[in-house]
Amino acid sequence: MKRALYTGSFDPMTNGHLDIIKRASRMFDELVVGVIVNPNKSPLFTREERVRQIEDIVGELGLSNVTVDSFQGLLADYVNAGGFDAVVRGLRATSDFEYEIQMAQMNACLFNPGTESVFLMTSPRYSFISSSMIKEVVSLGGSADGLVPVSILEEIKNKFHR
Ligand code: COA
Protein backbone atom coordinates (compact mmCIF):
# COMPACT_ATOMS: atom_id res chain seq x y z
CA MET A 1 0.00 0.00 0.00
CA LYS A 2 1.82 3.11 -1.22
CA ARG A 3 0.76 6.50 0.19
CA ALA A 4 1.80 9.78 -1.39
CA LEU A 5 1.41 13.44 -0.52
CA TYR A 6 0.94 16.16 -3.13
CA THR A 7 1.53 19.43 -1.37
CA GLY A 8 1.35 23.11 -2.22
CA SER A 9 -0.48 26.32 -1.46
CA PHE A 10 -3.28 25.69 -3.99
CA ASP A 11 -4.42 29.33 -3.79
CA PRO A 12 -6.31 28.32 -5.80
CA MET A 13 -5.90 24.89 -7.37
CA THR A 14 -5.46 25.21 -11.15
CA ASN A 15 -6.00 22.68 -13.92
CA GLY A 16 -2.21 22.22 -13.85
CA HIS A 17 -2.42 21.02 -10.24
CA LEU A 18 -5.44 18.89 -11.11
CA ASP A 19 -3.52 17.21 -13.92
CA ILE A 20 -0.84 16.21 -11.40
CA ILE A 21 -3.48 14.98 -8.91
CA LYS A 22 -5.13 12.75 -11.54
CA ARG A 23 -1.84 11.27 -12.68
CA ALA A 24 -0.44 10.75 -9.17
CA SER A 25 -3.69 9.12 -8.05
CA ARG A 26 -3.08 6.44 -10.70
CA MET A 27 0.47 5.85 -9.46
CA PHE A 28 -0.23 5.41 -5.75
CA ASP A 29 -2.81 3.49 -3.73
CA GLU A 30 -3.60 6.58 -1.71
CA LEU A 31 -2.94 10.25 -2.46
CA VAL A 32 -3.35 13.02 0.08
CA VAL A 33 -3.51 16.56 -1.28
CA GLY A 34 -1.91 18.63 1.48
CA VAL A 35 -2.83 22.30 1.48
CA ILE A 36 -0.02 24.17 3.17
CA VAL A 37 -0.58 27.29 5.20
CA ASN A 38 2.50 29.19 4.00
CA PRO A 39 3.30 32.14 6.30
CA ASN A 40 5.23 33.78 3.44
CA LYS A 41 2.11 34.12 1.29
CA SER A 42 -1.06 36.17 1.76
CA PRO A 43 -3.69 33.87 0.32
CA LEU A 44 -6.81 34.95 -1.52
CA PHE A 45 -8.66 31.92 -0.16
CA THR A 46 -8.68 30.66 3.41
CA ARG A 47 -7.33 27.25 4.28
CA GLU A 48 -10.92 25.97 4.65
CA GLU A 49 -11.95 27.39 1.27
CA ARG A 50 -8.99 25.80 -0.49
CA VAL A 51 -9.59 22.41 1.12
CA ARG A 52 -13.30 22.53 0.23
CA GLN A 53 -12.59 23.59 -3.38
CA ILE A 54 -10.24 20.66 -3.92
CA GLU A 55 -12.55 18.19 -2.13
CA ASP A 56 -15.45 19.25 -4.36
CA ILE A 57 -13.50 18.71 -7.59
CA VAL A 58 -11.95 15.43 -6.44
CA GLY A 59 -15.45 14.24 -5.48
CA GLU A 60 -16.95 15.29 -8.83
CA LEU A 61 -14.21 13.38 -10.64
CA GLY A 62 -14.73 10.29 -8.49
CA LEU A 63 -11.08 10.09 -7.48
CA SER A 64 -11.84 7.72 -4.62
CA ASN A 65 -8.25 7.23 -3.44
CA VAL A 66 -7.65 11.00 -3.05
CA THR A 67 -8.26 12.87 0.21
CA VAL A 68 -7.54 16.47 1.15
CA ASP A 69 -5.90 17.77 4.31
CA SER A 70 -4.14 20.95 5.43
CA PHE A 71 -1.11 21.59 7.58
CA GLN A 72 1.40 24.20 8.62
CA GLY A 73 5.00 24.11 9.76
CA LEU A 74 7.78 21.88 8.51
CA LEU A 75 6.80 19.67 5.58
CA ALA A 76 9.04 16.85 6.83
CA ASP A 77 7.24 16.75 10.20
CA TYR A 78 3.89 16.26 8.45
CA VAL A 79 5.35 13.68 6.06
CA ASN A 80 7.07 11.67 8.78
CA ALA A 81 4.03 11.73 11.07
CA GLY A 82 1.79 10.62 8.20
CA GLY A 83 4.04 7.76 7.16
CA PHE A 84 4.06 8.80 3.50
CA ASP A 85 6.13 6.81 0.99
CA ALA A 86 6.47 9.72 -1.42
CA VAL A 87 5.99 13.44 -1.83
CA VAL A 88 4.87 14.41 -5.32
CA ARG A 89 5.79 17.72 -6.92
CA GLY A 90 5.07 19.03 -10.40
CA LEU A 91 7.81 20.53 -12.55
CA ARG A 92 6.65 23.17 -15.00
CA ALA A 93 9.90 24.44 -16.44
CA THR A 94 13.63 24.34 -15.88
CA SER A 95 13.19 27.35 -13.59
CA ASP A 96 11.27 25.13 -11.13
CA PHE A 97 14.15 22.65 -11.11
CA GLU A 98 16.63 24.79 -9.17
CA TYR A 99 14.19 25.35 -6.31
CA GLU A 100 12.85 21.82 -6.31
CA ILE A 101 16.22 20.06 -6.24
CA GLN A 102 17.33 22.21 -3.32
CA MET A 103 14.14 21.42 -1.45
CA ALA A 104 14.26 17.70 -2.32
CA GLN A 105 17.85 17.39 -1.13
CA MET A 106 17.11 19.21 2.12
CA ASN A 107 14.02 17.09 2.64
CA ALA A 108 16.05 13.92 1.98
CA CYS A 109 17.95 14.79 5.18
CA LEU A 110 14.70 15.35 7.09
CA PHE A 111 12.34 12.65 5.81
CA ASN A 112 12.17 9.20 7.37
CA PRO A 113 14.40 6.75 5.48
CA GLY A 114 12.64 5.42 2.38
CA THR A 115 10.44 8.47 1.74
CA GLU A 116 11.10 9.77 -1.77
CA SER A 117 10.43 13.05 -3.57
CA VAL A 118 8.79 12.20 -6.90
CA PHE A 119 8.55 14.71 -9.76
CA LEU A 120 5.99 14.72 -12.53
CA MET A 121 6.41 16.92 -15.57
CA THR A 122 3.47 19.29 -15.83
CA SER A 123 1.40 18.90 -18.96
CA PRO A 124 2.60 21.42 -21.60
CA ARG A 125 -0.96 22.75 -21.72
CA TYR A 126 -0.46 24.14 -18.23
CA SER A 127 3.29 24.67 -17.96
CA PHE A 128 2.97 28.46 -18.10
CA ILE A 129 0.37 28.98 -15.39
CA SER A 130 0.64 29.70 -11.70
CA SER A 131 -2.01 30.51 -9.14
CA SER A 132 -0.74 34.11 -8.91
CA MET A 133 -0.96 34.61 -12.66
CA ILE A 134 -4.53 33.29 -12.74
CA LYS A 135 -5.53 35.65 -9.90
CA GLU A 136 -3.88 38.62 -11.61
CA VAL A 137 -5.55 37.94 -14.95
CA VAL A 138 -9.01 37.49 -13.41
CA SER A 139 -8.62 40.52 -11.13
CA LEU A 140 -7.91 42.65 -14.21
CA GLY A 141 -10.92 41.29 -16.09
CA GLY A 142 -9.09 38.79 -18.31
CA SER A 143 -10.20 35.26 -19.11
CA ALA A 144 -8.78 32.22 -17.34
CA ASP A 145 -11.25 29.86 -19.00
CA GLY A 146 -9.86 26.35 -19.31
CA LEU A 147 -7.03 26.99 -16.88
CA VAL A 148 -8.94 26.57 -13.61
CA PRO A 149 -11.92 24.36 -12.74
CA VAL A 150 -15.12 26.26 -13.58
CA SER A 151 -16.43 26.36 -9.99
CA ILE A 152 -13.12 27.74 -8.69
CA LEU A 153 -13.00 30.34 -11.47
CA GLU A 154 -16.42 31.57 -10.31
CA GLU A 155 -15.10 31.88 -6.75
CA ILE A 156 -12.09 33.90 -7.92
CA LYS A 157 -14.39 36.24 -9.86
CA ASN A 158 -16.59 36.60 -6.79
CA LYS A 159 -13.60 37.60 -4.65
CA PHE A 160 -12.50 40.31 -7.06
CA HIS A 161 -15.65 41.58 -8.71
CA ARG A 162 -18.63 41.04 -6.40
N1 COA B 1 0.33 23.74 -12.39
C2 COA B 1 0.11 25.02 -12.18
N3 COA B 1 0.78 25.76 -11.27
C4 COA B 1 1.67 25.13 -10.52
C5 COA B 1 1.95 23.77 -10.67
C6 COA B 1 1.23 23.05 -11.66
N7 COA B 1 1.42 21.76 -11.88
N8 COA B 1 2.90 23.42 -9.80
C9 COA B 1 3.20 24.52 -9.11
N10 COA B 1 2.48 25.56 -9.55
C11 COA B 1 2.54 26.95 -9.08
C12 COA B 1 1.59 27.24 -7.98
O13 COA B 1 0.36 27.68 -8.50
C14 COA B 1 2.31 28.33 -7.21
O15 COA B 1 2.01 29.56 -7.75
P16 COA B 1 2.02 30.89 -6.84
O17 COA B 1 3.42 31.03 -6.33
O18 COA B 1 1.64 31.90 -7.82
O19 COA B 1 1.03 30.66 -5.75
C20 COA B 1 3.79 28.06 -7.47
O21 COA B 1 3.83 27.17 -8.55
C22 COA B 1 4.47 27.44 -6.27
O23 COA B 1 3.74 26.29 -5.93
P24 COA B 1 3.48 25.59 -4.57
O25 COA B 1 3.80 24.21 -4.85
O26 COA B 1 2.12 25.86 -4.09
O27 COA B 1 4.60 26.22 -3.67
P28 COA B 1 4.79 26.78 -2.32
O29 COA B 1 6.07 27.47 -2.46
O30 COA B 1 3.67 27.52 -1.77
O31 COA B 1 4.90 25.48 -1.40
C32 COA B 1 6.09 23.74 -0.32
C33 COA B 1 5.92 24.55 -1.56
C34 COA B 1 4.79 23.47 0.37
C35 COA B 1 6.58 22.39 -0.77
C36 COA B 1 7.11 24.44 0.57
O37 COA B 1 6.77 25.78 0.72
C38 COA B 1 7.25 23.79 1.94
O39 COA B 1 7.72 22.70 2.05
N40 COA B 1 6.85 24.52 2.98
C41 COA B 1 6.89 24.01 4.37
C42 COA B 1 8.07 24.56 5.14
C43 COA B 1 9.24 23.64 4.98
O44 COA B 1 9.20 22.47 5.28
N45 COA B 1 10.33 24.22 4.48
C46 COA B 1 11.54 23.50 4.23
C47 COA B 1 11.52 22.88 2.87
S48 COA B 1 12.98 22.01 2.52
Structure confidence by residue, pLDDT tens digits, 88-128: 999 998 888 999 999 999 999 999 999 999 999 999 999 99
pLDDT band at 154 (very low <50, low <70, confident <90, very high): very high
22 belongs to the catalytic site: no
DSSP string for residues in 23-78: HHHHHSSEEEEEEE--TT---SS-HHHHHHHHHHHHHHHT-TTEEEEEE-S-HHHH
What is the model's pLDDT at position 16?
A: 97
Helix (H, G, I), strand (E, B) or coil at 85: coil
CB 7 less than 6 A from any atom of ligand 1? yes
**Measured distance CA(143)–CA(24) in Å, rounded:** 28
Q: How far is the CA of 8 from the centre of ligand 1 (A)?
A: 4
**Using an 8 Å Cβ cutoff, are 50 and 148 in contact?**
no
Q: Using one digit for the tens of pLDDT, what is the confidence trace for 16-74?
A: 999 999 999 999 999 999 999 988 889 999 999 999 999 999 999 999 999 999 999 99
* pLDDT on residue 153: 98
Cα 90 to ligand 1 centre (Å): 9
| Mean pLDDT value of segment 139-154 | 97
- Selecting among 17, 50, 89, 135, the annotated active-site residue is 17
The reply to whether 131 belongs to the active site is yes
Tell me, in angstroms, the distance from the centre of ligand 1 to residue 114's CA: 23
Q: Are 79 and 111 in contact, with CB atoms under 8 Å apart? A: yes
Which amino acid, one-letter code, is at 60?
E
Evaluate if residue 162 carries a pLDDT over 80. no
Name the residue among 40, 23, 41 with its Cα closest to residue 31. Answer: 23
Nearest atom, ligand 1, residue 107 CA: 48
CA distance readout (Å), 24 to 31, 44, 48, 144: 7, 26, 23, 24
**Residue 131 alpha carbon, nearest atom of ligand 1:** 13
Question: Cα separation of 22 and 10, whole Å?
Answer: 15
- The pLDDT of residue 127: 93
Question: pLDDT band at 131, cuts 50/70/90?
Answer: very high
The whole-number pLDDT of residue 91 equals 95
